[in-house]
A = this chain, B = another copy of it.
């Protein structure tokens, strides 16, 4: 079976996010001062061939740990569903 995973990789809350900070500042310039606290990470979509949703989730977890997220600086979360 084929599964789709939607993964979010975000900078840890304890770390500065200069890109997010710059965007927060820009919001004021474009007339959206109501917006703040912008943090920017990555969104990753991928597909997995697996016998079950549990196995697919294990594969995605492994991909996050080995390749997609740097756990020193980033946290990740994901959702797996049948594609």
The A contact surface, by secondary structure, is strand
Could you tell me if A49 and B67 are in contact, using CB atoms closer than 8 angstroms? no
* Interface 1/0 per residue, A1-35 and B, CB below 8 Å: 00000101110000000001001101100101011
Shortest A8–chain B CB gap in Å is 5
Question: Does residue A62 face the partner (Cβ distance < 8 Å to B)?
Answer: yes
Q: A59-B34, A67-B23 are in contact. Are A42 and B41 (CB under 8 A)?
A: yes
Chain B CB within 10 A, most for which of A8, A38, A62, A68: A38
Interface residues of chain A, those whose CB is within 8 Å of chain B, are: 6, 8-10, 20, 23-24, 26-27, 30, 32, 34-50, 59-60, 62-63, 66-68
